[in-house]
C-alpha cells in the first residue's frame, strides 16, 4: 500500500472512531463521515435536533494535498495530529492548516 493510500485509510479510521465515540448512547445527533476519495477531502459532521436546538457542526476537516495531510478544522479537544503520528503519518507530512502560515514554523509539523 502506498503512502497516500495509507494516509487516507488512517484518516477514515480516525474519523470513524471519533464518530463512534461522539455518538455514544446519549447523543441524539447524527454523525456523518464524508470521504471524497477522488479529491481526498475528509470531514466528520454532526447535525440534528437536540430538543428544541438544532446543531450543524463540522468536527473535523482534513485533506490530502501535495502528499501531505492538511488539518483544516478541529473543533474538539482530541489532538488528531497526535493520532496521525501514532498511525505512521510523518510529522513532516502533517500541516496544521488552521494555524496561520507564519505560526506553523514554530510547530513540530510541516509549514505547507
pLDDT digits (tens, 9 = 90+) for 40-97: 999 999 999 999 999 999 999 999 999 999 999 999 999 999 999 999 999 999 999 9
> What is the DSSP-derived secondary structure letter of residue 98?
T
Look-up: residue for cell 509549514? 111
Plot region of 68 (φ>0 → left; ψ -120 to 50 → alpha; else → beta): beta
- Fold for domain 3-104? TATA-Binding Protein (3.30.310)
What is the percentage of the chain residues whose pLDDT exceeds 90?
93
In contact, 22 and 15? CB cutoff 8 Å: no
The upper half-sphere exposure of residue 53, i.e. CA atoms within 13 Å in the direction of its Cβ, equals: 6
pLDDT tens readout for residues 8-47: 999 999 999 999 998 887 889 999 999 999 999 999 999 9
Amino acid at each position: 500500500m502506498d503512502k497516500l493510500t495509507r494516509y487516507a485509510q488512517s484518516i477514515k479510521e480516525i474519523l470513524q472512531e471519533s464518530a463512534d465515540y461522539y455518538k455514544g448512547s446519549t447523543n441524539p445527533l447524527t454523525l456523518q463521515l464524508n470521504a471524497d476519495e477522488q479529491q481526498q477531502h475528509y470531514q466528520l459532521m454532526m447535525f440534528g435536533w437536540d430538543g428544541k436546538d438544532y446543531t450543524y457542526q463540522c468536527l473535523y476537516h482534513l485533506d490530502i494535498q501535495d502528499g501531505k495531510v492538511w488539518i483544516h478544522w478541529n473543533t474538539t479537544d482530541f489532538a488528531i495530529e497526535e493520532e496521525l503520528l501514532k498511525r505512521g503519518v510523518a510529522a513532516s507530512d502533517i500541516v496544521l492548516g488552521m494555524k496561520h502560515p507564519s505560526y506553523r514554523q514554530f510547530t513540530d509539523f510541516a509549514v505547507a
